[in-house]
Amino acid sequence: MYPIQVEILNQEIDPEDKTPSYYRILVNRKHIKYVTIDPGVFEVDDLCFPPILVEKLPPFPKGDWNCGRISQIVGNPTPFFSETLKKTLPSISPLWHPKSYDYLSFQIGERLKSHVYMASSPQFEKPIVAKFARFHWEIAYYTAETRVYSWIDGHNIGPEFLGYLSEDGRVIGFLIEYIEGRHATISDLPACKSIVRELHGLNILHKDLNKHNFLISERGAVLIDFETAERSENREVMEKEMEGLEEQLLDESGNGGVFLEEDT
């Protein structure tokens, strides 16, 4: 019997096992730890299947640490923690919204797309959407996107920004309202053009206007996914973005709506 409760929340794995694999792990339902596994320590099939991997992990060391490394030495097949340390991990900043909620206070549900999940909590009457960095190197993406939400706040261009998502005191993501709707089709071109004009009116380029980044709801077209958006006063570029909208709504490639298999 494994001595502590271990749940793998997220993972990023090299399918060829030539580089380390990375895991975000919940221990005893209250501590999140980031564990790196050296190449060759476990079979790739085991690395990809959390229920089996959990049974093969070495005992977790006691103490106040949040980052660890599992290794193996020549002549001894038993994996072990070769390193544990307490790191100051990066946080989204600067912050503009007054509210923040702890990750562990939420039930994380269905994955809508990579890094985007349905979530629920007694703090909210309805299900909401959580978008967060699984690992420290992803923080920059969400720093940029939270800044864009501050630019569009109050303009009904995107979902309502509900607050930040924090982990161990640092901000790793954010919460937005869940928009019940469907992705745009060519028949929604006028509504999509209207919402893009509003965005451009704030001197913001979206830069990823694929049809999956429009939701058609009761309130009309709603834009989502602002990771690549940026401030701009270049009207020529804005016109090109608008001109390309029809082609994007006709696109059947599936770009922008694909799940990434390495994410859990």
pTM assigned to the model: 0.89
* Local confidence band at 39 (pLDDT 50, 70, 90 cut-offs): very high
Cα(186)–Cα(197) distance, rounded to whole angstroms?
Answer: 17
Q: What is the average per-residue pLDDT within 163-173?
A: 97
Residue 9 predicted with pLDDT over 60: yes
Domains of the chain in start order, with CATH, are 6-85 (no CATH), 100-177 (3.30.200.20), 182-250 (1.10.510.10)
Lowest mean per-residue pLDDT among 112-116, 123-127, 170-174, 189-193: 112-116
Cα(40)–Cα(186) distance, rounded to whole angstroms?
Answer: 49
> pLDDT value at position 74?
86
Place of tokens 């960095």: 133
Tokens representing residue 57 in the block = 């992990």
For residue 159, whether the previous peptide bond is cis, meaning omega lies within 30 degrees of 0, is no
Cα(118)–Cα(106) distance, rounded to whole angstroms?
Answer: 10
> How confident is the model over 222-241, as pLDDT tens digits?
999 999 999 999 999 999 99
Query: What value does the mean pLDDT of the chain take?
Result: 93
Which residues lie closer than 8 Å to 151 by C-beta, 6 or more apart?
A: 202, 204, 231
* Local confidence band at 114 (pLDDT 50, 70, 90 cut-offs): confident
H helical segments located in 112-177: 139-152
Residue 179 predicted with pLDDT over 90: yes
* Local confidence band at 54 (pLDDT 50, 70, 90 cut-offs): very high
First and final CA of the chain: distance in angstroms? 25
Residue 108 predicted with pLDDT over 60: yes
Q: What is the average per-residue pLDDT within 73-90?
A: 94
Tell me 232's DSSP state: -
Task: List C-alpha distances in Å: 65 to 86, 101, 113.
Answer: 4, 22, 30
> pLDDT value at position 262?
35
Closest alpha carbon to 184 in 229, 158, 221:
221
Cα(222)–Cα(183) distance, rounded to whole angstroms?
Answer: 10
Find out whether 226 and 159 touch, Cβ atoms under 8 Å. no
Distance of CA 181 to the CA centre of its chain: 21
Q: What is the average per-residue pLDDT within 16-42?
A: 96
> pLDDT value at position 254?
62
Tell me 69's DSSP state: E
